[in-house]
Amino acid sequence: MEKKVKRIALLSGGGDCPGLNAVIRTITKTAISKYGWEVIGYVYGYRGLYNNNYIELTEEKVENIYKEGGTILFSSNKDNLFDYLVDDGKGGKVKKDVSDVGVQNLKDAGVDVLVVLGGDGTLTSARDFSRKGVQVIGVPKTMDNDLSSTDLTYGFISAMSVGTDFIDRLQTTAKSHHRVICCELMGRDAGWISLYAGLAGNAGVCLIPEIPFTIENIAKHVAKRDEQGMPYTVIAVAEGAKYADGTKVIGKIVEDSPDPVRYSGLAAKVADDLEKVIPNHEVRSVNPGHIIRGGDITPYDRILSIRFGVKACELIDEGLFGNVVTLHGETMDYTSLEEVIGDAKFGKQKRVDPNGELIRAAKAIGVCFGDE
């Protein structure tokens, strides 16, 4: 006979983004008031699970975080318990699978269900815990919107709105000085943020990882705009975009992270390279970095977070473990962790289709992607 759920645990992993708190709030309130479950939250993602570091969550604790970005449970994008850096007993460090410690800690804390709030990386571990017999539910977050199997992740609309605001603001100053300004936006290896913010903010050029670009093509587009009486151009540059010869710009390697590459600096390089071939323009660059994922949750993401959180509780109530809550069209749905992640090392990722409707729409109104 199935064991009745009494206690659930939440954890958040990967880069923070607006919506995590709203999901934590929704699940906590629904779990306690509708289902009578106790709720705890492991802090710092899987590291908290390993160190048995958790807090009790109450309705009072979460009531006012409905619009607060970030996560009150903190997050980590380094701690993979299936490949974890531990002391080797000889003064050095060694990587080991310590996931059994996590499983035991869940048992000791009386946790019946682990609810994981994360992107493709965090949910890869969630799948692996599910394979070890832990009752897991995933709730798909990431500002990158790169998770296949769901139309949207929470955090994307909020980050994309901030990105749009950057591009909007750069338009007026670029126009006033007849400058070309490159604005770098996060998004890792997916171009969703830059495509949406660029399109919404009327960027003349969008550079995204899915469409390799050349400086010559961008220069041609700037010249065309000059001829059309628009001697200024804002360029949305996805941090993970690449030149046609494959060149990418890496800002930092975070050694103990499962996905160690951190992009940063592409907009500055594009600006330098471009200025050399369009000497009639001053070309500048800005990199707002983490600002894009900070701040309040947009109203749409608040509502999406409520829908994802309530659906997660419904899955727990129905015993549908090993699944991720997904959005398909207007319907809250669920998809198995096995399908969401597949056998890929970092989960199946959703990328912009270079020949898809969105790109065709953008090109139809004259947006250049640097490929022609």
Ligand X SMILES: Nc1ncnc2c1ncn2[C@@H]1O[C@H](COP(=O)(O)OP(=O)(O)OP(=O)(O)O)[C@@H](O)[C@H]1O
Ligand Y SMILES: O=P(O)(O)OC[C@H]1O[C@](O)(CO)[C@@H](O)[C@@H]1O
Q: What is the binding site for ligand X (CB under 6 A)? A: 13-15, 45-46, 76-80, 82, 118-122, 124-125, 128, 142, 144, 258-259, 345-346
Q: Does 191 bind ligand Y (CB under 6 A)?
A: no
Among 18, 19, 69, 119, binds Mg ion (CB under 5 A): 119
291-296-302 Cα angle (round to 5): 130
Number of residues in contact with ligand Y, rule: CB under 6 A?
13
Q: Is 343 exposed, middle or buried (0-12, 13-18, 19+ CB in 10 A)?
A: exposed
* 293 interacts with, out of ligand X, Mg ion, ligand Y, none, CB within 5 to 8 A per kind: ligand Y
Q: Does 142 bind ligand Y (CB under 6 A)?
A: yes
Q: Does 293 bind ligand Y (CB under 6 A)?
A: yes
Among 29, 47, 188, 221, binds ligand Y (CB under 6 A): 188
Among 16, 79, 120, 128, binds Mg ion (CB under 5 A): 120
144 flagged as catalytic: yes
Handedness of CA 230, 231, 236, 237 (dihedral sign): positive
Site string for ligand Y, 75-94 (x = CB under 6 A): --x-----------------
**Set 16, 112, 128, 144: catalytic member:** 144
Is 79 annotated as a binding-site member? yes
Residue 215 CB, shortest distance to ligand Y, in Å, is 23
The stretch among 23-31, 67-75, 181-189, 277-285 that binds ligand Y (CB under 6 A) is 181-189
Q: Specify the residue for token string 């009639």.
A: 280
Residue 170 CB, shortest distance to ligand Y, in Å, is 19
> Annotated binding site for ATP, which residues?
15, 78-79, 119-122
Q: Residue numbers of the site for Mg ion (CB under 5 A)?
A: 119-121
Residue numbers of the site for ligand Y (CB under 6 A)?
A: 14-15, 77, 142-144, 186-188, 239, 262-263, 293
